[in-house]
Structure 1
């Protein structure tokens, strides 16, 4: 009996596609086929140009959310695959989920998660309320999707990602398609050929990994930092 889900896209194929400025999508969550997208125009967020509103800066500094990296990759991608208001279908199919889980296991896909602790102060498990995931290669991070179930949750995840990329000496944050939401965060649009030039300029290994950069903000000599959000906000202050 044949499985309704086709085999995941090989890791090597995905990485080659991303280095070529191409990425896969599906027409629907149940679709077993994917199509390859090469946008005419590309959106990026300059790492020195992230826009942070006063309310977002406050949420970051107050550590309103517990932020983690790579602690719930599958939960994040599945939350991102849920239909949004005004969008009946999701481009994140089961085949795409399986493909990016493999990419995550190979160290080339990452998630940033935002959690909320119970308001009653109990020891109950924090709830996952927002996050993002994307693909990492060379000094490039290609943001794939984000979700938010609490005010500013996905924006806090994005701010942490930018701070980590800067700390690790990444060069390029790709957002694929421009949206009003991304524009409000400082995204700019450029022709695909100009984007590919930036990808070529970002070849080579970054100074450190995103996980090491996360530890820089969250740990203090191996112990949890008292206010990682303040460090994140300070690191972004000069340019945002």
Structure 2
């Protein structure tokens, strides 16, 4: 049974999630509720025409930085100096760009205006971070997500030129001390870079270690 949230800051046990990962409905996107959700391996994913939906998939699509695969052609791109990467320089621009560039295999965007505002608030409090990729002083790619313990919970990425989002992800994996990058939704793009599915329990063990 799907759990209905109210004003109390509680979530059911993630093990109670439906087969598709849906765990709860309702509540709000306050900073405290979002941090509680991510601490328990739960994230919001919904659209403008639905209430807030909270998910905890039985399997999690993740990338261990130690397992990152960088192709020869991508190494050449990185070594060329074509791109410059910054961190937390324009979070709002990155999340808006991600909202305008739906994920692989999805129609429309789940990054509603309400979601954007909530994650910008998290960023102002130091919990959400953006990685920006620049070419000739123009923002051409990036990603954003939540830092939770030793896990980076990646929310979305965008690319306006080839290899820009890959550059952001590689920078994240190679230049930070995260044990795991949570990619949430499987894509061919991320699979080619070493991401894979792991059981929820394994994910929670890493999250809380």
The answer, yes or no, to whether TM exceeds 0.5 is yes
Aligned match of 1:17? 37
TM-score for both structures, normalised by structure 1? 0.72
Aligned match of 1:109? 128
Q: Secondary structure at the match of 2:66?
A: coil
Instruction: Determine whether 1:93 maps to 2:112.
Output: yes
Q: Quote how far apart the aligned CAs of 1:31 are.
A: 4.3
Q: Which has the higher contact order (CA 8 A, sep 6+)?
A: 1
Aligned match of 2:188? 180
- Return the structure number with greater strand share: 2
- Where do 4+ consecutive residues of structure 1 move more than 2 Å? 30-33, 83-88
Aligned match of 1:51? 69
Partner of residue 163 from structure 1, selected from 155, 171, 174? 174
Q: Quote how far apart the aligned CAs of 1:177 are.
A: 2.0
- Mapped to 2, the partners of 1:86 and 1:37 lie a distance apart of 19
- Asked whether the 8 Å contact 1:78–1:97 carries over to 2, the reply is yes
- Mapped to 2, the partners of 1:12 and 1:86 lie a distance apart of 31
Map 1:40-79 to 2 at 5 A.
Answer: 40-79=58-97
Residue segments in structure 2 that go unaligned for 5+ positions in a row: 1-26
- Asked whether the 8 Å contact 2:68–2:194 carries over to 1, the reply is yes
Q: Quote how far apart the aligned CAs of 1:40 are.
A: 1.6
Tell me: CA distance 1:158–1:11, structure 2 relative to 1, closer, same or farther (3 Å): same
Larger Rg: 1
Instruction: Determine whether 1:35 maps to 2:46.
Output: no
